[in-house]
Amino acid sequence: MIMPDVRKCIAIAIAALCLGTVVRASESCCGVSDGVSVLSNETLSIQFVCDHSEVVTGQSMRVGFRVRHREGFHTYWKQPGIVGYPMQFSILQPELEEAPEVDWDFPERVSMNGHPAHGFKRDVVHSFELHVPENFKSDVFSVEVDVAWMACSKNCFPQRHKFRLELPVGAKGVKSEWFEQLQTREVAELVAWEVSAMRKGDWYEVLLKPQGEKKELGGVYLYSEDGQLTSSFVQQVQQLENGSVRIRAEASEHVELAASLPCLLYAERGLGGEQYVRINPSLEVKE
């Protein structure tokens, strides 16, 4: 389970009090139907699903959470920015020595009472891989996950629920209707651009320099994968005469300087058919 920064959680609580935000638990309807664990309430609906309807010992499968937001509501990405609480996954069954890496859906910009953050308004799927042990003896493989999240609109609703699946164990394994949706997203690396990054004072500056002919990037935004960039101010994007693109973003107060700057680079156009690509330039620090 990935735990949020304690200082950030305190900041969230203070912000909620200052804004007069009403925070309460929502009444929910939940259950299991057709092998899918479901929760539904006034803020969203969540389906806990598996890419197989029958699993095999010694093999892996993927489980995931399909989140559908009610109109006006959003949840938060793994690095939400100055406000928000990312969805937390605590696996109760099976017992694991190490938590699996979550494959998060692509983020978008959201707003909590005018405070910019990184999250999701559209329908999304977050998933991870689990392994059925070779020596597993039961006819049923149980998966139980304790999930905590915060759904926000004008008000915020912290919520928590335990989702459970009972998956039959067989000799062949049967793919479910969720198989394609739960496969790991292959995020392309940025090509045909030279990327450099610099930290100066409270700001980061990322320079994208085209290799070869000039290219125009539109609707550019950086989502920091380790939280070094804050969401508090609009990022400054400048297209230079030589075709390069300069992006300036404010540094977060809660994350220490690292050797590089891992980000998802979003662009509405100009990435050769992709909207999200991954960059991780080394950081130069200037006083």
Q: Do domains 6-175 and 193-286 have the same CATH topology?
A: yes
Q: With H, G, I as helix, E, B as strand and everything else as coil, classify residue 202.
A: coil
| Ranges of residues in the chain whose predicted pLDDT is under 70 | 1-35
- The per-residue pLDDT for range 166-191, each reduced to its tens digit, is 999 999 999 999 999 999 888 999 98
- Asked if the 193-286 domain carries CATH number 2.60.40, the reply is yes
For the chain, domain boundaries: 6-175, 193-286
Task: Please give the helix or strand (H or E) that residue 128 lies within, else none.
Answer: strand 124-131
Determine the distance from the C-alpha atom of residue 155 to the mean position of all C-alpha atoms in its chain, rounded to a whole number: 21
pLDDT of residue 213: 80
pLDDT of residue 23: 35
- The per-residue pLDDT for range 247-260, each reduced to its tens digit, is 999 999 889 899 99
Give the N- to C-terminal CA distance of the chain in Å, as an integer: 36
- pTM assigned to the model: 0.87
pLDDT of residue 246: 97
pLDDT of residue 35: 66
pLDDT of residue 31: 57
- The per-residue pLDDT for range 121-151, each reduced to its tens digit, is 999 999 999 999 999 999 999 999 999 999 9
The Cα-based distances of 268 to 120, 211, 274 in angstroms read: 17, 20, 9
Question: Class assignment of domain 6-175?
Answer: mainly beta
Taking the C-alpha atoms of residue 152 and residue 150, their distance in angstroms, rounded to an integer, is 6
Pairing relationship of beta strands 44-50 and 60-69 according to DSSP bridges:
antiparallel
